[in-house]
């Protein structure tokens, strides 16, 4: 008996479940575009070299033209269609829009998905090929233009909008850092308030 060449799979895409039959050779990119009509993810080189088809798998970037659809089952897939929330652009999307981080726009979905991952990778302390001090205790390196260019180097822009792309990623990263710092300060304030209340209760007792 010949082995099966197709399967029915369920993909978790942008928080929604999609069940579909696919040939085992179908890439995630083709499943998104041809089977599910999620055409925001673009097909460029189809060889994993241009980055136009970048999506997030469990929060980490991946080129969907080299990812088999059957291998994405059970993983959280985020495409450009799932980046905005409640009709509000994500800060990365807004930065690309405000700073003209695009021209024709064909590579932009992949650029944005990659930028989302770059910002989180940097915040987690991941070094890049241009990071001077890669010791864990050194913490995240400054997200300089060189760092951004290196980390985004897998995403090509044939229009040459690289200067604006770097600026957009830098601004979005700064906003993410400021937001994280604000949350941290709020948590510290709440903890201090709870501690103070506990001390007052002990004093009253």
- Is the pLDDT reported for residue 196 higher than 70? yes
- pLDDT top residue among 109 and 189: 109
Contact 9, 20 (CB under 8 A): yes
Q: Residue 17: beta bridge partners?
A: 12
pLDDT confidence band for 195 (50 / 70 / 90): confident
- Note the pLDDT of residue 140: 84
pLDDT digits 0-9 by tens, 80-99: 999 999 989 999 999 999 99
- Is the pLDDT reported for residue 171 higher than 80? yes
pLDDT confidence band for 103 (50 / 70 / 90): very high
User: Within 13 Å and on the Cβ side, how many CA atoms surround 3?
Assistant: 3
Q: Which residues contact 145 (CB under 8 A, 6 or more apart)?
A: 166, 170
Cα of 145 vs its chain's centroid, Å? 19
Pairing of strands 76-78, 6-13: parallel
Taking the model in full, what pTM does it have?
0.87
- The token pair that represents 90 in the structure block: 């994500």
- Note the pLDDT of residue 188: 72
Task: Give dist(CA 139, CA 114) in Å, integer.
Answer: 22
Sort 3 into a burial class: Cβ within 10 Å, 0-12 / 13-18 / 19+: exposed
In eight-state DSSP terms, residue 88 is B
- Note the pLDDT of residue 205: 64
Q: Mind listing the domains of the chain with CATH numbers?
A: 1-82 (3.10.20.30), 85-205 (1.10.150.120)
- pLDDT top residue among 169 and 125: 169
pLDDT confidence band for 193 (50 / 70 / 90): confident
Pairing of strands 16-23, 6-13: antiparallel
User: Residue 190 in 3-state DSSP?
Assistant: helix
């Amino acid at each position: 008996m010949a082995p099966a060449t197709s399967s029915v799979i369920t993909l978790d895409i942008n928080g929604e479940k999609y069940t579909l039959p696919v040939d085992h050779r179908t890439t995630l990119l083709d499943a998104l575009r041809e089977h599910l009509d999620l055409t925001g993810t673009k097909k460029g080189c189809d060889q994993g070299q241009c980055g136009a088809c970048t999506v997030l798998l469990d929060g980490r970037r991946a080129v969907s033209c080299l990812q088999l659809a059957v291998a994405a089952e059970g993983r959280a897939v985020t495409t450009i269609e799932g980046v905005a929330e409640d009709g509000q652009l994500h800060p990365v999307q807004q930065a690309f829009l405000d700073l003209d981080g695009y021209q024709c726009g064909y590579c932009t979905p992949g650029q944005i998905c990659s930028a989302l991952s770059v910002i989180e990778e940097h915040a987690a302390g991941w070094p890049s090929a241009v990071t001077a001090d890669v010791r864990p205790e050194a913490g995240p390196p400054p997200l300089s233009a060189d760092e951004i260019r290196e980390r985004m180097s897998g995403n090509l822009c044939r229009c040459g909008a690289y200067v604006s792309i770097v600026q957009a990623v830098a601004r979005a990263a700064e906003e993410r850092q400021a937001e994280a710092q604000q949350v941290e300060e709020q948590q510290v304030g709440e903890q201090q308030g709870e501690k103070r209340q506990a001390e007052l209760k002990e004093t009253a007792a």
